[in-house]
C-alpha cells in the first residue's frame, strides 16, 4: 500500500533551483520505497523517518514493505495523508516486524534472493528512490546486500548509516564534490534541512596546499550547491584542506545532527561509503549519515 505525501514545505512543489551544471543529478519522482531489511528497531526507525521526510518534501508516495516475511505498512487513514500520526503508526508496524531479529536472519543465498526480490519490486512499482539501512545496523544480512541494491537498483538510492537517532535535525553537514551524485545529495540535504528549519554547512574537501585552480573549482562546487538549496540565510560554504577526505568528514560529523554525502566514484572516499567498509563508517561517524547515489 502506498501513502501519499503532503508537500508541507514552503515552495516544495517547485523543488530546488537547477543551479550551475557542476551539481549533477537531482531528487525527483513520485514513489519512494523503504524495504525492512535491518535487524534493529533503531535502524528501521531511522530508515522509515528519512523515507517519510523525503516523501513529504517531494509530495511523493511512500511504500514500506517487509520483503523477508511479506506484508506492507497498514493504511494510515481514509485520506491516505502522511501525517505525523500516520507516520507513527507506520513506524510502530515496521519496528514490530523486525523485533525480535533472530527469525529474520538469512544466509548468503537467501540474501541474493532477497536482493533480487527488492530490485524486482523497484521495477514493478516504478520506484524513484530506494531508502535502505547501512552499516552494522543492517545486521540482518551480509554487508554486501546494501551495496548490491545501491549499485543495481534502477532508481536513486539513499543509504542510512552512521549513528542511529534520526528525528529532529538541528544542523546538516553536506559534503559535496563535482561527481554524478552531488545534485541528488544536495537536494536530499536541502529538503531535510527545510523540513527541520536546520542550518546547512556545504563542505568540499581538497588536498592540503592545493593549487589555485583547485581552490577555485572547490569554491564553485560549494557555491553551486548553496544556490541549488535556495536558503541563503541558513546555508554556509566551507572548503577544507585535509589529507584524507573520509577522515575529515568523520571528524566534522560530530558537530552536526545529520551528514549527507554523495556516493563517490573512486578513491578512499568510495571505500568509506561502500558496503565493504560500512562497519567502520558506523563506528567512526558521529551523526546519522545519508549516503546518496544517483542511478538515473
H, E, C per residue of the chain: CCEECCCCCCCCCCCCCCCCCCCCCCCCCCEEEEECCCCCHHHHHHHHHHHHHHHHHHCCEEEEECCCCCCECCCCCCCCECCHHHHHHHHHHHHHHHCCCHHHCCCHHHHHHHHHHHHHHHHHCCCCEEEEECHHHHCCCCCHHHHHHHHHCCCEEEEEEECCCCCCCCEEEEECCCCCCHHHHHHHHHHHHHHHCCEEEEEEEECCCCCHHHHHHHHHHHHHHHHHHCCHHHEEEEEEECCCHHHHHHHHHCCCCEEEEECCCCHHHHHHHCHHHHHHHHHHCCCEEEEEECCC
Q: Given the C-alpha cell 502506498, which residue does it identify?
A: 2
Higher pLDDT, 245 or 140: 245
Q: What does pLDDT average to over the chain? A: 79
Range scoring the smallest mean pLDDT among 47-51, 73-77, 222-226, 232-236: 73-77
* Spatial separation of the C-alpha atoms in residues 274 and 203, rounded to whole Å: 20
pLDDT, tens digit, 9 for 90 and up, residues 80-125? 578 888 899 999 999 988 876 555 555 555 667 888 899 999 998 8
What does the pLDDT read at residue 9?
A: 20
Measured CA to CA, the distance from residue 164 to residue 228 in angstroms comes to 28
Question: pLDDT > 70: what percent of the chain?
Answer: 75
Q: Is the pLDDT of residue 15 over 70?
A: no
Q: Domain-by-domain residue ranges, the chain?
A: 3-160, 171-293
pLDDT of residue 150: 85
The dihedral sign for the CA sequence 9, 25, 114, 31: positive
Closest residue by Cα to residue 97 from 34, 166, 165: 34
What average pLDDT does this structure show over 219-244? 93
pLDDT at residue 3 is higher than 50 = no
Give 262-293 pLDDT, tens digit per residue. Answer: 875 555 555 555 433 334 444 567 789 998 88
12, pLDDT greater than 80: no
Q: Which three cell numbers stand for residue 56?
A: 513529504
Q: What is 3-160's CATH topology? A: Rossmann fold (3.40.50)
Mean pLDDT score, 155-174: 90
Domains 3-160 and 171-293 share a fold: yes
Can you tell me the distance from the alpha carbon of 26 to that of 12, in angstroms, rounded to the nearest whole number? 14
CATH architecture of the domain with range 171-293: 3-Layer(aba) Sandwich (3.40)
8 Å CB contact between 275 and 143: yes
pLDDT, position 295 = 85
The pLDDT of residue 287 = 86
Q: What is the pLDDT of residues 77-86, one digit of tens each?
A: 544 578 888 8
pLDDT tier at 136, thresholds 50, 70, 90: low
Is the pLDDT at 193 greater than 80? The verdict is yes
Cβ atoms of 295 and 164 closer than 8 Å = no
Amino acid at each position: 500500500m502506498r501513502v501519499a505525501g503532503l508537500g508541507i514545505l514552503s515552495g516544495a512543489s517547485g523543488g530546488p533551483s537547477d543551479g550551475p551544471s557542476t551539481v549533477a543529478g537531482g531528487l525527483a519522482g513520485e514513489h519512494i520505497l523503504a524495504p525492512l531489511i535491518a535487524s534493529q528497531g533503531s535502524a528501521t526507525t531511522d530508515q522509515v523517518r528519512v523515507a517519510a521526510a523525503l516523501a513529504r518534501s517531494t509530495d511523493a508516495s511512500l511504500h514500506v514493505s517487509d520483503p523477508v516475511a511479506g506484508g506492507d505498512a497498514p493504511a494510515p487513514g481514509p485520506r491516505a495523508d502522511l501525517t505525523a500520526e500516520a507516520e507513527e503508526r507506520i513506524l510502530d508496524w515496521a519496528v514490530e516486524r523486525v523485533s525480535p531479529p533472530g527469525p529474520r536472519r538469512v544466509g548468503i543465498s537467501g540474501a541474493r534472493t532477497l536482493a533480487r526480490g527488492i530490485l524486482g519490486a523497484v521495477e514493478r512499482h516504478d520506484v524513484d528512490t530506494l531508502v535502505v539501512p547501512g552499516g552494522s545496523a543492517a545486521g540482518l544480512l551480509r554487508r554486501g546486500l546494501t551495496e548490491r541494491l545501491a549499485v543495481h537498483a534502477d532508481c536513486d538510492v539513499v543509504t542510512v548509516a552512521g549513528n542511529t537517532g534520526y528525528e529532529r535535525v538541528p544542523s546538516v553537514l553536506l559534503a559535496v564534490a563535482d561527481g554524478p551524485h552531488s545534485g541528488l545529495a544536495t537536494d536530499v540535504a536541502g529538503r531535510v534541512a527545510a523540513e527541520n528549519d536546520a542550518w546547512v554547512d556545504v563542505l568540499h574537501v581538497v588536498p592540503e596546499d592545493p593549487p589555485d585552480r583547485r581552490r577555485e573549482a572547490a569554491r564553485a562546487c560549494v557555491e553551486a550547491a548553496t544556490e541549488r538549496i535556495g536558503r541563503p540565510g541558513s546555508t554556509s560554504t566551507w572548503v577544507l584542506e585535509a589529507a584524507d577526505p573520509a577522515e575529515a568528514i568523520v571528524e566534522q560529523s560530530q558537530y552536526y545532527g545529520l551528514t549527507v554525502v554523495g556516493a563517490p566514484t573512486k578513491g578512499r572516499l568510495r571505500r568509506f561509503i561502500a558496503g565493504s567498509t560500512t562497519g567502520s563508517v558506523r563506528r567512526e561517524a558521529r551523526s546519522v549519515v545519508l549516503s546518496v547515489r544517483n542511478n538515473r
